[in-house]
Amino acid sequence: MEQIPLSVLVTILVILLALSAFFSLSETAMMAANRYKLRHRAQQGHLGAKLALALLAQTDRLLGVILLGNNLVNTGAATLVSLITIELFGNDKWILGMATLLVTFAILVFSEITPKIIGATHADRISQVLGYIFTPLIRIFYPAIWFVNLFVGALLRLLRLSRHATAEAPKLTPEELRTLVMESRELIPPTHSTILVNLFDLGKIAVEDVMTPRGAIEILDLDAPREELQNRIATSQHLRLPVCRESLDQLLGVLPIRRVTPHLHDLDFSEKELRQQLLPPYYIPAGTPLFAQLGFFQENRQRLGFVVDEYGEILGLLTLEDIIEEIVGEFSSSVAGAPHELTWDDEGCIMVEGSTPLRDLNRKLDLHFPLDGPKTLNGLILEHFEDIPEAGVSFKLHGIAVEIIQTQDRSVKTARIQRLSGP
């Protein structure tokens, strides 16, 4: 001890505490690093990210070299403190105990908690730098690490646990991915995050949840007078119209409006020529997931389909635009007579059509109508009464005040909804 100056011993102690802080920071940063970001940087050619991923693929060796260095440094620091204390104050047990408490406090504050907080806070940046440092360290200390891991591997086998990690990011379920997108709204434009969330929800929605109900489908009845047919085609807001006789039970096909518009007022344009322009109807089984139907539309090069039940009865109409609106949101419309936006007025009321889907009411008005039965407000009301209600009737439907304003053709045409708290 007489040959080593006290100042040198103190300097060595500070260096040891700094090394301990480095190993603590490294352990936390490497374990907390976002592997998705590391993989993204590695794909861009960042060498540090590639090295970090390679280290994370061999966690046993990485932790082996970190903990080996950390424990050696901490043990050396504790021993050095004892030597310095004896040099200054002798072999007094009380002084040695106080010195041990002080070095423990110093290690806890300066070499453990503080560096670990820094490592966890800046894990992604630090881990890419540590890749350059620990890659050669693992090679240098490999014999010692291998010897220690012999016992570690035996203990893990006894516990029936795997010792092999992977540099790949852990697999996430769709629900976890959805949560990840929602928590990243500050980094993703609102429109983009909404589209991504809607995509995750698309697999949970069936075609009948989005389709236009049968009673709301605009049809072209060939039994109608010629003038009425011409007027219906000329004033239609749709690019394609279902063509039938009397009702959809006698569906003939789908008419692309643009095919007949140039000949609309020709006197010689006959029903036979009109039927020659029809496209065969495309049918969709009820219960088909909306995401799957999007793929079916693409495979079959279709843009419109009729949803049918197990007996072949047409339940509604689904278009490609309906699915796209579920993903990107409704398109703005300036067409006269288009449905108004679903928003509460100043008195907490709103007028809605009976054909309005319950999903739209729940989503846009923050209501909680059940979705496992009828799909429209009209259907839910008819199920509630088990009959056709009269105009002016008010009642509470699942905690929401509803008033029938107008009925037509055995259905509710218009209703007023009022926000109501409580059951």
Q: Which of 71, 64, 55, 27 is nearest to 150 (CA)?
A: 64
Rounded average pLDDT per 10-residue block, the chain, 423 residues: 69 87 91 85 87 87 88 84 73 72 81 89 90 90 85 83 57 71 72 77 82 84 82 82 88 86 66 82 91 90 91 90 83 46 79 84 82 82 82 83 85 84 48
| pLDDT (0 to 100) of residue 282 | 93
Instruction: Return the CATH number of the domain spanning residue range 207-328.
Output: 3.10.580.10
In whole angstroms, what is the distance from residue 11 CA to residue 249 CA?
A: 93
* H or E element, residue 336: none
CATH no. for 349-418: 3.30.465.10
Please name the residues in contact with 299: beta carbons below 8 A apart, sequence gap of 6 or more: none
Q: What is the pLDDT of residue 182?
A: 72
Q: Strands 220-221 and 240-245, how do they pair?
A: parallel
CA angle (5, 6, 9) in 5-degree steps: 95
Domain residues of the chain, as ranges?
A: 6-158, 172-202, 207-328, 349-418
Neighbours of 316 (CB within 10 A): 24
**What's the pLDDT score for residue 280?**
92
What amino acid occupies position 306? Answer: F
Give the integer Cα–Cα distance in Å for 200 and 192. Answer: 13
CA 314 to chain CA centroid, Å, is: 33
Q: Kind of pairing, strands 411-418 and 400-408?
A: antiparallel
Distance CA(13)–CA(8), nearest Å, equals 9
Closest of 161, 163, 165, 194 to residue 178, by C-alpha: 194
Q: How far is CA 170 from CA 51, 166, 176, 206, 291, in A?
A: 18, 8, 11, 30, 25
Q: What are phi and psi of 243, to 5 degrees?
A: -110, 130
Q: What is the pLDDT of residue 318?
A: 93
Q: Is 112 exposed, middle or buried (0-12, 13-18, 19+ CB in 10 A)?
A: buried
pLDDT at site 163 = 61
User: Which structure tokens are listed for 198?
Assistant: 């809607």
Question: DSSP letters of 261-275?
Answer: GGGTT-TT--HHHHH
Confidence at residue 307, expressed as pLDDT on a 0 to 100 scale: 93
* pLDDT score, position 265: 66
Note whether 244 and 268 are within 8 A (CB). Answer: no
- Residue 341: strand, helix, or coil: coil
Return the number of other C-beta atoms located less than 10 Å from residue 317's C-beta. Answer: 24
Concatenating the DSSP letter of every residue in 6-58 gives HHHHHHHHHHHHHHHHHHHHHHHHHHHS-HHHHHHHHHTT-HHHHHHHHHHTT
Return the closest-CA partner of residue 236 out of 256, 265, 222.
256
Task: Tell if the pTM clears 0.85, that is, is over it.
Answer: no
In this predicted structure, what is the pLDDT of residue 156?
A: 80
Handedness of CA 133, 136, 141, 145 (dihedral sign): positive
